């Protein structure tokens, strides 16, 4: 659990930490007291275990006060002899920082530098080491946090060792979040920090060192306070830091290690971060953002996204707007390409990534930004009355069936059976068949079925689904103009389709406001045989307002939605105008359109869940933020259960959908 008032940190550190980690600091302990010394000893052993090694195998863990950079400077200034030469592999800012540190200490350096979105080539390293016998040490940044690129640690390590050099690795942002074994990677000195993937608080860095190499550096340190060997000796001989230790941060770190273990160790944590990363990429790509690093070289720690091409994009404003929504992202740190970065590490879960994506979508709208390369634009429509196809069925066709269920099938079968032609002999038109979910329910129970669908993506799914059934045919086209001869069908079913045809005027809309719906009825009348039946599945206005628990979260979008839905009375009027008689109404009170996922109280927090109902596509960015805040706070303060109960009581009285049947005389 995190502190509710803090902003969520989608940064590379310091990170959002658990309350229990923060609470562990609420003590004042003596730095030379036995209890504290024991904690330090325990931490050092646990760190070796995290690195996949033990002291008995010749490895040491050393804690060093200060930020991660202090740990790096401690290693660089301590482990390279006066006549040594350090080769630094650089593909980002942190590689450059190692070069700068070495420069400050007068250490001779060589570099292999590649562009910031390219992984270094181990063979090039082999050539350089073979050509330059003066190089004694090689430094690599494992996860180059400036871009999120993951460098090939083990491959580089084996080349370094094969050619007999010392291997220094900056694993600042990867240690604890990406499985690695110091021995297998042939690392002599690894540096990381308390406030990255182990999820402690800032205050010290840590070094895992090869014991023999450590003993060999005696007398090489160029500073007093960052002398690595002296620090190790202090910890080893008295169990103490040489200078004032960050006692509170150490206590927090002990708790953080416990929580890492509870999460399933590095593997468990890596799995969570990887899921965060996958959700982030999915959402950002949908909005049209592009990553700087190719997918195959990306880490699951942090991702650099290129600025949108729209010249109106201004990072400071983007950042501030997200910050005001409680989310902190990170600026770029690249020399080439304008980027911002989003971290997945710390106490961040997939639901937080979803909240961030929602906030970003809202921010794009607020800034009126035009996103190109949109895989699928999930951005809520800014102008709900604009004549757009408000849900892009081509892009939702892939997962459409995950979020909708064909409800009321028994009602439809009863109504069809009430006509003069026996069910098994009936020829049915499924007008607006979508991916064929409802059609599948009729398949085998009636004679022949013709599915017609306007969306290319949807009809393609349906076509493939029924390819082997000679009694089912699918074609693409509008239902306001039917290609069939007069009196071709015994029955027509039309499930949740009519709201795609017109944009009526809402509550007071009359039959005249739905000309396309009227065209459909006219065509339906023409292609039906005498005594044929049309069964429409729709939702009446009250059902929209009270038949869906979440409708109360987005009342303005519901009202916008109603403009598209002729009321039942309006439909009856249109049916009469077009020659139909004997209207009949049935409501399946027990069934819900979203099936088993419907009652998920966290549902609205997920973009995939929201995709299960078109209404959410009519929500503005601001409304969405407001709705999601309400869900989050009701979940937190425990009021969600009562809210759901109250809403469900209404639904069970009026249902979500209505079946209207009308007949051709
Ligand atoms: C790879 C890498 N190296 C070094 C550092 C510097 O660490 P600090 O900011 O704690 O000094 C960072 C910080 O993000 C890092 O990611």
607-638: pLDDT as tens digits: 767 777 778 877 877 788 788 888 888 888 88
Q: Phi and psi for 60 in degrees, rounded to 5?
A: -130, 145
Q: Which of residues 213 and 382 earns the better pLDDT score?
A: 213
Reported as a single tens digit per residue, the pLDDT across 324-373 is: 999 999 998 887 779 999 999 999 999 999 999 999 999 999 999 888 64
d(CA 613, CA 661) in angstroms, rounded, equals: 24
The number of the ligand 1 atom at minimal distance from the alpha carbon of 144 is: 1
- The confidence score (pLDDT) of residue 548 equals 93
Q: Count of domains in the chain?
A: 3
Mean pLDDT score, 457-478: 89
Establish if 546 belongs to a structural domain: no
pLDDT at 632: 84
- Of residues 292 and 593, more confidence is placed in 292
- Token digits for 36? 């504290």
Does the structure show a pLDDT above 50 at 562?
yes
Distance (Å) from CA 580 to ligand 1 centroid: 73
- Do 258 and 302 share a structural domain? no
Residue 640 belongs to some domain of the structure: no
448 falls within a domain: yes
- Report the atom number in ligand 1 closest to the C-alpha of 143: 1
Q: Residues 223, 316: one domain?
A: no
Which residue has a Cα nearest atom 12 of ligand 1? 172
pLDDT of residue 626: 83
pLDDT confidence tier of residue 388, bands split at 50, 70 and 90? very low
Which atom of ligand 1 has the smallest separation from the CA of 69?
11
Kindly state whether residue 401 falls inside one of the protein's structural domains.
yes
Q: Within this chain, do residues 402 and 506 fall inside the same structural domain, yes or no?
A: yes
Residue 576 structure tokens: 């009469």
On the question of pLDDT at 394 being above 90, the answer is no
| Last residue in a domain, options 327, 347, 366 | 366
Mutate to test the pocket of ligand 1, among 71, 145, 302 (most ligand atoms within 8 A of CB): 145
Instruction: Give the span between the Cα atoms of 520 and 429, in whole angstroms.
Output: 12
User: What's the pLDDT score for residue 268?
Assistant: 94
Residues 6+ apart with CB under 8 A from 374: 286, 287, 288
Confidence class for position 307, pLDDT limits 50, 70, 90: very high
Does 578 score more than 90 pLDDT? yes
Question: In this structure, what CATH number is given to the domain that contains residue 343?
Answer: 3.90.1150.10
Report pLDDT digits (tens) over 262-303.
999 999 999 999 999 999 999 999 899 999 999 999 999 999
- Is the domain of 81 the same as that of 120? yes
Q: How far is 497 from 651, CA to CA, in rounded Å?
A: 22
Residue 654: pLDDT over 60: yes
| Ligand 1 mutation pick, 189, 193, 195, 205, max ligand atoms within 8 A of CB | 193
More confident residue, 190 or 373: 190
Per the CB < 8 A criterion, the answer to whether 253 and 195 are in contact is no
pLDDT in tens, 254-272: 999 999 999 999 999 999 9
Q: What is the rounded end-to-end Cα distance, in angstroms, of the chain?
A: 65
| Residue 245: inside a domain | yes
Q: Are residues 419 and 339 in the same domain?
A: no
**Confidence check: pLDDT of 566 > 60:** yes
Decide: 204 in ligand 1 pocket, CB within 6 A: no
pTM over 0.95: no
Q: Are 230 and 324 in a shared domain? A: no
Q: Give the model's confidence band at 592: pLDDT under 50 very low, under 70 low, under 90 confident, else very high.
A: confident
User: Contact, 71 vs 190, CB < 8 A?
Assistant: no
As a whole number of angstroms, the distance between CA 56 and CA 53 comes to 8
Whether residue 384 is predicted with pLDDT greater than 50 in this model: the reply is no
426 belongs to a structural domain = yes
Look at ligand 1, atom 2, and give the residue with the nearest C-alpha: 172
Q: Which of 232, 262, 292 is the last residue of a domain?
A: 262
Atom 10, ligand 1: which residue's CA is nearest? 68
- Is the CB of residue 94 below 6 angstroms from any atom belonging to ligand 1? yes
Chain centroid to Cα 615, Å, comes to: 21
> How far, in whole angstroms, is CA 304 from its chain's centroid?
15
Interacting residues of 637 by C-beta distance below 8 A, sequence separation 6+: none
Measured by CA distance, the residue closest to atom 8 of ligand 1 is 68
- Find where tokens 């980027």 sit: 339
106 has pLDDT over 60: yes
The percent of residues in the chain predicted with pLDDT above 90, rounded, is: 76
The alpha carbon of 23 and the centre of ligand 1 are apart by a number of angstroms equal to 25
Q: Does the pLDDT of residue 393 top 60, yes or no?
A: no
Does the structure show a pLDDT above 70 at 47?
A: yes
Residue 455 belongs to a domain with what CATH number? 3.40.50.150
Residue 89 has pLDDT above 90, yes or no: yes
Ligand 1 neighbour 193 (Cβ under 6 A):
yes
Q: Note whether 113 and 160 are same-domain residues.
A: yes
* Ligand 1 pocket: which of 13, 64, 66, 68 to mutate (most atoms within 8 A of CB): 68
Q: How far is the CA of 390 from the centre of ligand 1 (A)?
A: 45
Does residue 332 share a domain with residue 447?
Answer: no
Out of 69, 89, 171, give the residue to mutate to test ligand 1, the one with the largest number of ligand atoms within 8 Å of its CB: 69
Task: Look at residue 380 and tell me if it is in a domain.
Answer: no
- Is residue 473 helix, strand or coil? strand
Question: Domain range holding 143?
Answer: 30-262
Among the listed residues 451, 453, 455, the one whose alpha carbon sits nearest the alpha carbon of residue 492? 451
536: three-class secondary structure by DSSP: strand
Is 174 a pocket residue for ligand 1 (Cβ < 6 Å)?
no
CA distance 47 to 129: 31
Does 514 share its domain with 586? yes
Residue 401 pLDDT exceeds 80: no
pLDDT mean over 545-559: 92
Other Cβ atoms less than 10 A from the Cβ of 515: the count is 14
- Could you tell me the distance, in angstroms and rounded to a whole number, from the CA of residue 173 to the centre of ligand 1? 7
- Is residue 146 pLDDT above 90, yes or no? yes
Does residue 170 have its Cβ closer than 6 Å to ligand 1? yes
Q: What is the pLDDT of residue 149?
A: 97
Q: Are residues 518 and 397 in the same domain?
A: yes
- Concatenating the DSSP letter of every residue in 342-389 gives EE--SS--HHHHHHHHHHHHHHHHHTT----S-SS--SPPS-TTS-S-
**What rounded mean pLDDT belongs to the chain?**
91
DSSP 291: B
Count the Cβ atoms, other than its own, within 10 Å of residue 654.
16
Same domain, 151 and 91: yes
Residue where a domain stops, chosen among 262, 293, 315: 262
Lowest mean pLDDT across 243-247, 529-533, 626-630 = 626-630
- Name the band, by pLDDT with cuts 50, 70 and 90, for residue 377: very low
Compute the distance from residue 98 Cα to the ligand 1 centre, in Å.
11
Does 168 lie in the same domain as 140?
yes
Angle at the Cα of 540 (from 635 to 646), degrees rounded to 5? 30
Residue 454 lies in a domain: yes
Q: Is 169 in the pocket of ligand 1 (CB under 6 A)?
A: no
């Amino acid at each position: 659990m995190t502190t509710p008032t803090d902003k969520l940190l989608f940064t590379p550190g310091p990170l959002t930490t658990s309350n229990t980690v923060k609470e562990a600091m609420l003590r004042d302990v003596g730095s030379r007291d036995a209890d504290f010394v024991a904690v330090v000893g325990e931490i050092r052993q646990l760190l070796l275990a995290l690195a996949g090694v033990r002291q008995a195998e010749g490895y040491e863990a050393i804690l060093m006060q200060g930020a991660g950079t202090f740990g790096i400077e401690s290693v660089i200034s301590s482990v390279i002899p006066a006549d040594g030469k350090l080769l630094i592999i650089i593909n980002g800012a942190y590689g450059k920082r190692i070069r700068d540190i070495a420069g400050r200490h007068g250490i001779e350096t060589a570099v292999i530098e590649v562009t910031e979105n390219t992984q270094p080539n181990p063979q090039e390293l082999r050539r350089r080491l073979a050509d330059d016998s003066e190089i004694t040490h090689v430094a690599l940044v494992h996860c180059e946090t400036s871009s999120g690129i993951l460098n090939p640690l083990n491959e580089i390590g084996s080349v370094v060792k094969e050619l007999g050099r010392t291997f220094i690795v900056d694993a600042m942002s990867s240690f604890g979040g990406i499985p690695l074994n110091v021995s297998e990677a042939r690392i002599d000195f690894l540096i990381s920090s308390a406030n990255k993937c182990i999820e402690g608080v800032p205050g010290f860095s840590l070094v895992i060192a090869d014991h023999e190499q450590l003993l060999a550096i005696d007398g090489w340190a160029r500073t007093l306070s960052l002398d690595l060997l002296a620090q190790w000796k202090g910890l080893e001989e008295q169990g103490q830091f040489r200078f004032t230790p960050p006692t509170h941060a150490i206590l927090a770190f002990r708790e953080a290690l416990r929580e890492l273990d509870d999460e399933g160790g590095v593997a468990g944590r890596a799995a969570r971060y990887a899921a965060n990363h996958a959700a982030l990429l999915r959402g950002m790509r949908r909005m049209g953002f592009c990553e700087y690093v190719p997918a195959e070289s990306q880490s699951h720690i942090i991702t650099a996204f290129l600025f949108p091409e729209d010249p109106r994009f201004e990072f400071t404003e983007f950042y501030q707007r997200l910050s005001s929504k409680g989310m902190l992202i990170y600026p770029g740190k690249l020399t080439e390409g304008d980027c911002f970065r989003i971290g997945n590490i710390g106490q961040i879960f997939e639901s937080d990534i979803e909240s961030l994506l929602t906030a970003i979508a809202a921010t794009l709208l607020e800034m009126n930004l035009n996103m190109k390369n949109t895989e699928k634009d999930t951005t809520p429509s800014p102008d709900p009355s604009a004549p757009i196809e408000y849900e892009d069925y081509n892009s939702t066709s892939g997962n459409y069936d995950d979020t909708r269920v064909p409800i009321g099938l028994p009602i439809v079968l009863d109504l069809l059976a009430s006509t003069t032609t026996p069910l098994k002999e009936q020829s049915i038109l499924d007008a607006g068949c979508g991916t064929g979910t409802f059609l599948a329910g009729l398949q085998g129970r009636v004679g022949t079925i013709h599915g017609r669908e306007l969306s290319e993506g949807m009809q393609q799914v349906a076509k493939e689904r029924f390819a082997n059934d000679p009694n089912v045919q699918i074609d693409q086209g509008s239902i306001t103009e039917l290609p069939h001869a007069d009196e071709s069908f015994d029955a027509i079913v039309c499930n949740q389709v009519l709201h795609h045809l017109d944009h009526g005027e809402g509550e007071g809309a009359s039959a005249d406001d739905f000309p396309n719906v009227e065209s459909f009825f006219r065509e339906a009348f023409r292609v039906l045989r005498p005594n044929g039946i049309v069964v429409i599945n729709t939702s009446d206005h009250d059902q929209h307002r009270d038949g869906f628990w979440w409708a109360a979260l987005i009342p303005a979008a519901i009202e916008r939605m109603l403009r598209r839905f002729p009321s039942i009375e309006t439909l009856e009027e249109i049916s009469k105008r077009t020659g139909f008689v004997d209207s009949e109404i049935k409501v399946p009170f027990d069934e819900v359109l979203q099936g088993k996922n419907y009652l998920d109280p966290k549902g609205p927090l997920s973009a995939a869940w929201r995709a299960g109902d078109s209404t959410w596509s009519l929500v503005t960015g601001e409304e969405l933020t407001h709705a999601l805040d309400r869900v989050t706070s009701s979940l937190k303060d425990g009021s969600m259960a009562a809210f759901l109960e109250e809403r469900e009581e209404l639904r069970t009285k009026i249902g979500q959908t209505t079946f209207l049947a009308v007949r051709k005389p």
